[in-house]
């Protein structure tokens, strides 16, 4: 009786295998019969499993043959995995190559200037939602808008702790000297829905809760005027209210308020309804907002719907 042990183990640190397989093959005399496949744990493509089914006929009792078959299996699994990865990135690759050919190469001088410095006219504060990319929706080109995206397009108060949004504000306003700040909200915002549905004293360990609570005032103002409405309509109201609360908070940053007062910086709100594909835009009326009580709505002007 000859006994052969064939073992392939999955290594989490390795990118070359997709499976964990431990197989003991016992071959009696010269009849080349397989007694058992002791234990098998498989996680690999169907094509790989079909080859595994032929393991008995391929096991001739010669260890090199089994080793080669195992290597073939590993290669096939790796190729299948790599092909799946290629599919994920293939469209992205084609879009990049189209951008390079039709945009970058046709505007080479412009991109050479951007390589040296940027001077965007806009700071855009938008939601991280994958459906509302401001460059895709509003057509911003490279160099036109310094952009920060977060959950529910919120602006934290000046007095709160450091965040990436506040860092973007400081850099874009004081260093890049943008002329416009545009806060863009949108329909069916998951961050606003979370804000409207959670308890004020929620789980302090939740990153989501600790962030969206920044919009608490927008929630309170919504509940004050729209508590009798369906939850979806309350959320829609809060989506727009939170934009104005963020614009109001921007005026709480001394260096932003100073530039707005001097007329070198304008604050704008925008609301993208992707259900009906409309975009509503308005501008903060600084003079009209002065003297208003804290918490009252800011004055706006130049409202339009596209």
CB-CB contact of 280 with 264 (8 Å): no
Instruction: Work out the pLDDT band at 86, boundaries 50, 70, 90.
Output: confident
pLDDT at 279 over 70: yes
Number of helices and strands in the chain (H, E): 12, 9
pLDDT at 94 over 60: yes
* CA angle (138 as vertex; 104, 242 as ends), nearest 5: 135
Tokens representing 49 are 């499993």
Instruction: Work out the pLDDT band at 290, boundaries 50, 70, 90.
Output: confident
Measuring CA to CA, which residue among 162, 170, 212 is closest to residue 191?
Answer: 212
pLDDT at 176 over 60: yes
Measuring CA to CA, which residue among 225, 222, 218, 219 is closest to residue 247?
Answer: 218
- The predicted-structure confidence for 114-134, as pLDDT tens digits, reads as follows 999 999 999 999 999 999 999
- The predicted-structure confidence for 21-37, as pLDDT tens digits, reads as follows 343 433 334 444 444 43
Q: Which pairing describes strands 278-284 and 300-305: parallel, antiparallel, or unpaired?
A: antiparallel
Instruction: Tell me how far apart the alpha carbons of residues 137 and 272 are, in angstroms, rounded to a whole number.
Output: 9
């Amino acid at each position: 009786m000859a006994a052969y042990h064939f073992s392939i183990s999955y290594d989490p640190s390795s990118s070359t295998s997709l499976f964990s397989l431990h197989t003991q093959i016992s071959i009696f005399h010269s009849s080349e019969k397989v007694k058992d496949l002791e234990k098998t744990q498989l996680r690999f493509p169907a094509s790989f499993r079909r080859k595994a089914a032929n393991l008995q006929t391929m096991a001739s009792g010669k260890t090199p043959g089994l080793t080669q078959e195992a290597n073939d299996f590993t290669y096939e699994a790796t190729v299948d995995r790599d092909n799946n990865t290629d599919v994920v990135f293939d469209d992205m690759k084609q879009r990049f190559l189209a951008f390079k050919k039709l945009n970058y190469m046709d505007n080479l001088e412009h991109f050479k200037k951007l390589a040296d410095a940027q001077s965007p006219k806009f700071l855009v504060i938008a939601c991280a939602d994958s459906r509302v990319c401001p460059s895709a929706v509003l057509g911003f080109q490279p160099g036109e808008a310094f952009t920060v995206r977060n959950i529910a397009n919120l602006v934290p108060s000046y007095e709160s702790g450091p965040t990436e949004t506040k860092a973007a504000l400081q850099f874009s306003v004081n260093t890049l000297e943008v002329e416009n700040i545009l806060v863009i909200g949108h329909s069916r915002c998951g961050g606003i829905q979370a804000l409207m549905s959670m308890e004020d004293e929620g789980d302090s360990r939740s990153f989501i809760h600790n962030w969206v609570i920044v919009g608490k005032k927008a929630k309170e103002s919504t509940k004050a005027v729209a508590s009798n409405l369906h939850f979806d309509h309350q959320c829609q109201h809060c989506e727009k209210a939170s934009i104005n609360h963020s614009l109001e908070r921007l005026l709480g940053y001394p260096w932003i308020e100073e530039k707005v007062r001097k007329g070198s910086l304008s604050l704008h709100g925008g609301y993208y309804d992707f259900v009906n594909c409309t975009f509503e835009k308005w501008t903060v009326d600084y003079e009209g907002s002065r003297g208003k009580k804290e918490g009252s709505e800011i004055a706006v002007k130049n409202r339009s719907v596209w």
